[in-house]
Amino acid sequence: MIKNKKIEQALIGQIKNEEHSSRLYMAMASWCHANGFHGASKYLFKQSDEERAHMLKIVNYVNERGGHATLSELDNLTDNYKTLIEVFEKILKHEEFITTEINNLYEESMKSKDYATATFIQWFITEQLEEESTFQDILDKMRMTGSTPGGVYWIDRELAMIAAGRG
């Protein structure tokens, strides 16, 4: 049972964060498609699905432990970007924010001696590490190739390969 209501609320807050991430990446994927970055679009639609899976993971965890995973009202998001690099800069910033949220959740669970939740959250800590490193890598490549049409074309193809599991 999740006895501590504060932990239950913190997990519900994280459900909102994951749902927001999923919508944010879907909006970005749509922008990429509309602007001719089809590889980046495929990649971000996939990321959006992953974030939804993260959300479901927490929903199931809360309910399986006798809590009630409710959904929250979502924040507005931007639909417009100037460049592909701006999209990925915003993603990295967003993931850094999520990492802080996950770390706080872990700390709260430990303070409350809710070791089951702390163990559950460890998966997300590892996931954040991987995601931050992947997005940093993509950004580094983008910065290296600059904003030349050839460079942008190459990175878009790379993202298409990653989305297809060949990257």
The residues binding ligand OFO (CB under 6 A) are 18, 21, 51, 54, 95, 98, 127-128, 131
CA distance 47 to 25: 7
Within the chain, where are the H helices? 5-34, 38-64, 84-111, 115-145, 149-163
CA distance 25 to 52: 10
To which residue do tokens 């507005």 refer? 76
Query: How far apart are CB 12 and ligand OFO at their closest, in Å?
Result: 15
Query: How far apart are CB 167 and ligand OFO at their closest, in Å?
Result: 18
Query: How far apart are CB 149 and ligand OFO at their closest, in Å?
Result: 31
Residue number with CB closer to ligand OFO (81 or 92) = 92
Residue number with CB closer to ligand OFO (51 or 108) = 51
CA distance 115 to 3: 12
Residue number with CB closer to ligand OFO (129 or 161) = 129
Half-sphere exposure of 164 (CA within 13 A, CB side): 9
Residue number with CB closer to ligand OFO (33 or 94) = 94
Query: How far apart are CB 127 and ligand OFO at their closest, in Å?
Result: 5
Angle between helices 115-145 and 84-111 (to 10 degrees): 160
